[in-house]
């Protein structure tokens, strides 16, 4: 993992919010859009940036794209993820509450499991 690219990825509040939500497991783009209250193109642009920085990866499940935190490649990567988890973001509690409410209703694509460990 290249440090400069990782730090640039973490320099945006929306990307930090996405990373914090992904700590709970895989999420589809629709769930992120609704929980973060941002337009789909904005979410996709930020997810692509995080993917280029090797902080997230995605998998296709039918017509949906699910994003997950990338497994730490080294100690630097691990510490970056730990620092993101420790952040107290102003919108963080609202994001988590919105995501939980959305998941209770089944999310945007309820036919597919959210957790990458499920099939």
> Mean pLDDT across the stretch 3-15?
93
Is 112 contained in some domain?
no
CA atoms of 83 and 19, how far apart (whole Å): 11
**pLDDT higher than 70, residue 96:** yes
Please give the tally of structural domains in the chain.
1
Which domain CATH number covers 48? 1.10.10.10
Residue % of the chain over a pLDDT of 70: 91
51: Cα separation from own chain's centroid? 10
Is 38 a member of any domain?
A: yes
Instruction: Answer yes or no: is 108 within a domain.
Output: no
Boundaries of domain holding 63: 3-101
Query: Do residues 102 and 109 lie in contact, with contact meaning Cβ atoms separated by under 8 Å?
Result: no
Specify the pLDDT at position 39: 96
Task: Supply the pTM of this predicted model.
Answer: 0.87
Q: Which has more confidence, 48 or 111?
A: 48
């Amino acid at each position: 993992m290249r440090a400069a690219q990782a730090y640039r990825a973490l320099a945006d509040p929306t990307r930090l919010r996405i990373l914090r939500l992904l700590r709970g497991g895989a999420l589809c783009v629709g769930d992120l859009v609704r929980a973060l209250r941002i337009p789909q193109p904005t979410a996709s642009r930020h997810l692509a940036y995080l993917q280029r920085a090797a902080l997230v990866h995605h998998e296709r499940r039918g017509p949906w794209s699910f994003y997950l935190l990338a497994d730490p490649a080294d100690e630097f990567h691990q510490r970056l993820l730990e620092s993101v988890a420790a952040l107290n973001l102003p919108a963080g509690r609202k994001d988590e509450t919105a995501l939980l409410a959305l998941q209770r209703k089944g999310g945007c694509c309820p036919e597919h499991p959210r957790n990458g460990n499920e099939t």
